């Protein structure tokens, strides 16, 4: 789009943002939440005795590793990590901020991998004890690591987050909630016995909580990507020149 030259000369052409996510965050949130609710409903229907498909296939089981919900959850975490990675060029020259965004990208890419590779389940099995016969100690490892990481990102990344404070709060609060659903509710499994009617409700709350908070985080990340792409928030010396 032509823009007037500040010196009164000929109009120049404004450079296109390196990654234009403007206006897409709301659509991303709508699609994410709609998919979450549909998969949650499919899980309830299957578990309620009206199977969409044979229950032995576990295609819609929120708690199964080889299922559509697991693929959906992993895909959203992958998108969050990739979107953080796409923001990296906007922070060249500001290496502390660049490193923070890179750390966030790596963290969510690992969480995406964990969804399909069942890393935390393997850790849990190896650390089971009389006090934690189901979950093992992995919730403490993930919770501590996650809370330390998000605290560091929230404090050290204040320059990055200033690009869009709504997005920043959404990401930080969403990540804390994600850790809560993943770790705290998993710890509750240790006090419930197989066959307990509350077990199904706990699984539904944990898995749906993780799905919905991932959608909220993705919304915040897309908003932050749109803000980081704008010249207003571009680090000094990294703005593209018109060709």
3-class SS at 43?
helix
Output DSSP code: residue 242.
Answer: P
Of 227, 231, 240, the closest CA to residue 21 belongs to 227
Listed by start position, the domains of the chain span 73-233
Where the chain has pLDDT below 70, the residues are 1-23, 49-57, 193-197, 230-243
Q: What pLDDT is recorded for position 15?
A: 40
For 209-218, how does the pLDDT look when each residue is reduced to its tens digit (9 = 90+)?
Answer: 999 999 999 9
For 136-156, how does the pLDDT look when each residue is reduced to its tens digit (9 = 90+)?
Answer: 777 777 777 777 777 777 777
Whole-angstrom Cα distance, residue 34 to residue 208?
A: 12
Q: What pLDDT is recorded for position 146?
A: 76
The answer to whether the predicted template modeling score (pTM) of the entire model surpasses 0.85 is: no
Q: What pLDDT is recorded for position 186?
A: 76
Q: What pLDDT is recorded for position 133?
A: 75
3-class SS at 74?
helix
Could you give the dihedral angle defined by the CA atoms of residues 158, 76, 216 and 225, in that order, rounded to the nearest 10 degrees? 40
Written as one string, the DSSP assignment of 146-209 is HHHHHHHHHHHTHHHHTT-HHHHHHHHHHHHHHHIIIIIHHHHGGG--TT-HHHHHHHHHHHHH
């Amino acid at each position: 789009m032509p823009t007037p030259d500040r010196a009164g000369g000929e109009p120049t052409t404004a450079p296109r943002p390196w990654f234009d996510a403007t206006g897409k965050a709301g659509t991303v949130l709508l699609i994410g939440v709609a998919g979450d609710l549909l998969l949650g409903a499919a899980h309830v229907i299957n578990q309620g005795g009206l199977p969409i498909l044979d229950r032995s296939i576990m295609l819609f089981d929120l708690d199964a590793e080889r299922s559509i919900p697991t693929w959906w959850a992993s895909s959203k975490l992958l998108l969050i990590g990739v979107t953080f990675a796409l923001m990296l060029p906007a922070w060249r020259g500001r290496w502390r901020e660049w490193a923070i965004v890179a750390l966030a990208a790596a963290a969510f890419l690992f969480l995406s991998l964990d969804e399909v590779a069942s890393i935390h389940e393997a850790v849990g099995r190896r650390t089971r004890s009389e006090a934690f016969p189901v979950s093992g100690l992995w919730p403490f490892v993930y919770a501590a690591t996650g809370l330390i990481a998000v605290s560091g990102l929230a404090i050290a990344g204040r320059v990055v987050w200033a690009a869009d404070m709504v997005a920043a709060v959404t990401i930080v609060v969403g990540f804390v909630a994600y850790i809560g659903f993943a770790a705290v509710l998993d710890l509750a499994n240790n006090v419930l016995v197989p066959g307990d009617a509350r077990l199904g409700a706990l699984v539904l709350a944990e898995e749906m909580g993780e799905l919905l908070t991932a959608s909220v985080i993705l919304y915040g990340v897309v908003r932050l990507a749109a803000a980081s792409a704008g010249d207003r928030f571009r680090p000094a010396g990294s703005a593209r020149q018109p060709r």
